[in-house]
Structure formats: C-alpha cells, structure tokens
C-alpha cells in the first residue's frame, strides 16, 4: 500500500509481466462469459414475458369475442321471442338484433376500459416493451 | 387420425333415475367429485397445523386465500367480503377442474358448456337476488345511466338491459370455449405427430408439431389458471354492481 507506483493491492505486486497478461486474459474471458450468461438470461426472461403476454392476449381476445357475440345472441333471442309472442315477424327480431349489436359494442368498450386499467395498474402505464423515443 | 372430440364424450358410470329424472352419475360427475375431494382434502390438511409460522403447504393455502380475498376486496370493497365463500369456492373449483383436465386421459369438466353455464347462472342469480335484496328497486338504476338525454334514454336502457342479460352467456362461453379450443388444439397437434411418423419420407418433420404441442401445453397451463382468474374476477365485478348499482 505504501508503494505509490502500484496501487492495485498487495497480491498483484509480485506478478511478472507474462503472468499479468495471462491474468488479464482470464479476466476478459470471464467477463465475456458472464456477459453471455447475462444476455441469455435477459432474453430468457423476455421470452417468458412474451409467452405470458401472448397467453394473456389470447385470453383477452377470446373475451372480447365472447362479449360481442353473446350480446348479439341475447338481443336476437329476445327479438325472436317477442316476435313469436306478438306475431310481428320479423320486425322485432331485426330491431333487437341491431340493439344486441349495440349492446355488444358497449360490452367490448367496457371490457377494454377495464383491461386498460388493469394493465396500467400492473405496469405503471408502460404497456408492452419500452421503445426508446427519438426525443429522449 | 384420432378423433379430437372423443375426449369430451360423456359416459354413464352409474345410471340413476329419480322420479323419471335422469340423474346418471357420469365421468363428468366423477371428475367434479374428484376436484371437490382434492380441494377439500388439500385445505383441510394444509390448515390442520394452524401454525403462526406457516409450513410450505399451509402457506400455499394462505396465498390462495389472500389472492382471492384481495381480488374481491379490490372490486367490491369490504362489504363484498360477505360473499367470499362463494367467490373462493368458484375460483378453487374451476382452477382445480382446469388443472385436472391437463393430466392426459383425464376429463375436463369445464370444457362442457352446461357446467360453466350452471356456474355463470349461479353468479347471475346471486347478483340479481343480492341486488334487489340490498337496494330494492334502486338496483334498476344499473340500467339507467346518468347524464343521457331523455330522448335516447329508452334506447340506451334497452341496450343496457340486453348488455346485462348477455353477461351469463359471455361469462360461461369464455371459460368453456377456452378449455374446449385448447384441448382440441393439443389433440390435433398430437395427432399430427402420429400422422407424420407414419408418412414415410416426411416422417423427419414429425418433431415440428411435437415442439408445438409442448409449447401449447405450457400455454394451456397458463390458460387454465387465467380462465379461473378471469371467471372469478368477473364474478367480483358483477357482485360489485349488485352491491353498488349507481356506479
């Protein structure tokens, strides 16, 4: 420590130049290996997250489809039943079919709003992968 | 090619007739009973110790409780905790049934719409009963959104009613369709492997659908959990509408 020429610590003071070169080579090798492992880990984590998000996306997609279709079916059924009861075939069926479609769109919009809220709560507003902005 | 629909067939095990009603004990009933038996045994055994510092099994039970309780409290507030037993039972039953279905050769209870429709119908009726019991006619405000001009109000109310009535359908179809589609896809890809193996020169392609089937299996496990979660989540939201109809 008292030697100001070599401040790397007491262990390395006796190293010959060849030894030093070998040692540094080992260090850079290790750094390279470590970098590879780290990169692998990062891609693994990313792939896992991607797979999870894909599963979630599929689930949400199915959900949206179910929301829309079920309302149309219910509307159509109500119209059909009313037609059958009142003998006004096919007018109420047509009317309620369209109303059912409107209700379906309403369902989808509400589900979407909820989904957004859920996502925001989970990722603090960052949806999907963060992409560097030109302005940053 | 093996029939991908074959796995959903119902076989009678013990034929039972009660006053002309067909109440046959089928493989579906058997797997429902297995699911209930597994859940009950697990929770009874896990909570037997009731130690302050939980064992591994006990903490799994506690985490499950906390998970569902948190979900319910978040969407309905403290007043909704009265319905915790219903919500917890639904979640654990659907989750166990979905997971049991992932074991090869086992029957997936939730891949039949009659089962999911019964569950969704139960939730729908509970919401109606609780809504009217708690709020009386005030519950009908759910169908009359505020801040809508009077001349479109009847139309909007009609749309809201249709939207409300469509809930049990989308609620049940979502779970059923996911489980059905997932299991059929798995079976089809499994069938591709067998078909390609018997295709002579092209049999070297057989690993491709095999990898796909492996990836799909992982995805299906995720879907099995996710659908149980989504079903429970929606139950909580519908209960919230029953408890606080004014939005």
Q: Is B159 or A45 the better-scoring residue by pLDDT?
A: B159
Nearest to A63 among B162, B163, B230 (CB): B230
CA distance B16 to chain A (A): 34
From A66, which residue of chain B is nearest by alpha-carbon distance?
B170
If you average pLDDT over each of A2-11, A12-21, B233-242, which comes out highest?
Answer: B233-242
In angstroms, rounded to a whole number, what is the distance separating the alpha carbons of residues B163 and A101? 9
What pLDDT shows up at residue A88?
Answer: 87
Which whole-number Å values give the CA distances from B132 to B75, B120, B125, B136, B244, in the listed order? 19, 18, 11, 4, 11
Whether omega for the bond prior to residue B173 falls within 30 degrees of 0, making it cis, is no
Q: Residue A70 and residue B166: Cβ atoms within 8 Å?
A: yes
Q: Residue B174 and residue A66: Cβ atoms within 8 Å?
A: yes
CA distance B44 to chain A (A): 32
In angstroms, rounded to a whole number, what is the distance separating the alpha carbons of residues B180 and A134? 45
Q: Is A3 or A62 the better-scoring residue by pLDDT?
A: A62
- End-to-end, the C-alpha distance of chain B in Å comes to 53
Q: Residue A103 and residue B173: Cβ atoms within 8 Å?
A: no
For A46, the 3-state DSSP assignment is helix
Chain A interface, best mutation among B70, B94, B124, B162, by max A CB count within 10 A: B162
Categorise residue A125: left if φ over 0, alpha if ψ from -120 to 50, beta otherwise: left
Nearest to B170 among A56, A58, A70 (CB): A70
Q: Residue A74 and residue B178: Cβ atoms within 8 Å?
A: no
Neighboring chain B residues of A106 at a CB cutoff of 8 Å: 159-160, 163
What pLDDT shows up at residue A10?
Answer: 54
Neighboring chain A residues of B178 at a CB cutoff of 8 Å: 59, 62
Q: Residue A54 and residue B219: Cβ atoms within 8 Å?
A: yes
Is-contact B153 B90, C-beta < 8 A?
no
CA distance A55 to chain B (A): 6
What pLDDT shows up at residue B16?
Answer: 85
What pLDDT shows up at residue A50?
Answer: 73
Complex ipTM over 0.95 = no
In angstroms, rounded to a whole number, what is the distance separating the alpha carbons of residues A66 and B116? 14
In angstroms, rounded to a whole number, what is the distance separating the alpha carbons of residues A136 and A124? 19
What pLDDT shows up at residue A46?
Answer: 79
In angstroms, rounded to a whole number, what is the distance separating the alpha carbons of residues B88 and B65? 8
The percentage of residues in chain A with a pLDDT greater than 70, rounded to a whole number, is 75
Residues 6+ away with beta carbon under 8 Å from B244: B76, B77
Residue B173 buriedness (CB in 10 A; 0-12 / 13-18 / 19+) = buried
Neighboring chain A residues of B162 at a CB cutoff of 8 Å: 71, 74-75, 78, 96, 99-100, 103
Beta bridge partners of B21: B18
Which whole-number Å values give the CA distances from A13 to A21, A22, A30, A109, B233, in the listed order? 14, 15, 22, 71, 66
Q: Is A79 on the interface with B (CB under 8 A)?
A: no
Q: Residue A106 and residue B165: Cβ atoms within 8 Å?
A: no
pLDDT band at A126 (very low <50, low <70, confident <90, very high): low
In angstroms, rounded to a whole number, what is the distance separating the alpha carbons of residues B100 and B114? 18
Q: Is the pLDDT of residue A131 over 70?
A: no
Q: Is A97 on the interface with B (CB under 8 A)?
A: no
Q: What is the widest separation between alpha-carbon atoms in chain B?
A: 72
Residue carrying the six token digits 């009678």: B12
Neighboring chain B residues of A102 at a CB cutoff of 8 Å: 159
Q: Residue B166 and residue A71: Cβ atoms within 8 Å?
A: yes
Residue carrying the six token digits 């390609």: B196
In angstroms, rounded to a whole number, what is the distance separating the alpha carbons of residues A59 and A67? 12
Chain A interface, best mutation among B98, B168, B170, B182, by max A CB count within 10 A: B170
Q: What is the pLDDT of residues A47-103, one digit of tens each?
A: 777 776 776 777 777 778 888 999 999 999 999 999 999 988 889 999 999 999 999
Q: Is A56 on the interface with B (CB under 8 A)?
A: yes
For B25, the 3-state DSSP assignment is strand
Nearest to A74 among B169, B178, B223 (CB): B169
Provide the residue-wise pLDDT of chain B in tens; the chain has 247 residues: 668 888 888 888 888 888 878 888 999 999 999 999 999 999 999 888 888 888 888 999 999 999 999 999 988 888 889 999 999 999 999 999 999 999 988 999 999 999 999 999 999 999 999 999 988 888 888 888 888 888 888 888 999 999 999 999 988 988 998 899 999 999 999 888 888 888 778 888 888 889 999 999 998 998 899 899 989 999 999 999 889 886 5
Residues 6+ away with beta carbon under 8 Å from A32: none
Q: Are strands B12-14 and B25-26 parallel, antiparallel or unpaired?
A: antiparallel
For B130, the token pair is: 């609780």
- The DSSP-derived string for B65-96 is HHHHHHHHHHHH-GGGGGGHHHHHHHHHHHHH
Is-contact A104 A69, C-beta < 8 A?
yes
Cα–Cα nearest to B175, from B218, B131, B217, B115: B115
For A92, the token pair is: 């109420």
What pLDDT shows up at residue B150?
Answer: 87
Indicate the length of chain B as a whole number.
247
Categorise residue B63: left if φ over 0, alpha if ψ from -120 to 50, beta otherwise: alpha
Average pLDDT over residues A3-18: 62
């Amino acid at each position: 420590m008292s030697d100001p020429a070599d401040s790397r610590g007491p262990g390395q003071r006796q190293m010959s130049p060849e030894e030093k070169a070998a040692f540094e080579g080992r260090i850079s090798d290790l750094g390279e290996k470590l970098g590879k492992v780290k990169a692998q880990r990062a891609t693994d984590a990313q792939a896992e997250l991607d797979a999870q998000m894909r599963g979630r996306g599929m689930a949400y997609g199915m959900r949206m489809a179910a929301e829309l279709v079920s309302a149309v079916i219910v509307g159509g059924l109500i119209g059909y039943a009313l037609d059958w009861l009142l003998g006004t075939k096919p007018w109420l069926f047509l009317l309620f079919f369209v109303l059912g479609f409107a209700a379906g769109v309403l369902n989808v919009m509400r589900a979407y709003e909820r989904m957004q809220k859920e996502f925001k709560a989970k990722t603090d507003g960052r949806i999907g992968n963060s992409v560097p902005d030109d302005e940053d | 090619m093996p029939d991908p629909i074959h796995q959903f067939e119902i076989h009678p095990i013990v034929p039972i007739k009660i006053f002309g009603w067909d109440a046959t004990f089928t493989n579906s009933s058997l797997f429902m009973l297995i699911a209930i038996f597994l859940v009950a045994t697990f929770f009874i055994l896990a909570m037997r110790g009731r130690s302050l510092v939980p064992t591994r099994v006990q903490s799994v039970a506690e985490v499950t409780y906390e998970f569902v309780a948190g979900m319910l409290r978040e969407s309905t507030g403290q007043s909704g905790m009265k319905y915790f037993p219903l919500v917890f039972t639904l979640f654990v039953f659907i989750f166990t049934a979905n997971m049991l279905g992932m074991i090869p050769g086992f029957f997936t209870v939730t891949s039949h719409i009659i089962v999911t429709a019964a569950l969704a119908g139960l939730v729908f009726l509970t919401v109606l009963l609780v809504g009217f019991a708690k709020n009386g006619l005030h519950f009908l405000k759910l169908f009359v959104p505020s801040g809508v001009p009077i001349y479109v109000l009847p139309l909007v109310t009609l749309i809201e009613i249709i939207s409300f009535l469509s809930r049990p359908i989308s609620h049940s179809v979502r779970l059923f369709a996911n489980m059905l589609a997932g299991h059929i896809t798995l079976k089809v890809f499994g069938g591709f492997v067998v078909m390609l193996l018997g295709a002579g020169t092209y049999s070297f392609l057989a690993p491709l659908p095999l990898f796909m089937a492996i990836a799909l299996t992982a995805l299906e496990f995720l879907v099995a959990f996710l659908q149980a979660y989504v079903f429970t989540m929606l139950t909580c939201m519908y209960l919230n509408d029953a408890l606080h109809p004014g939005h």
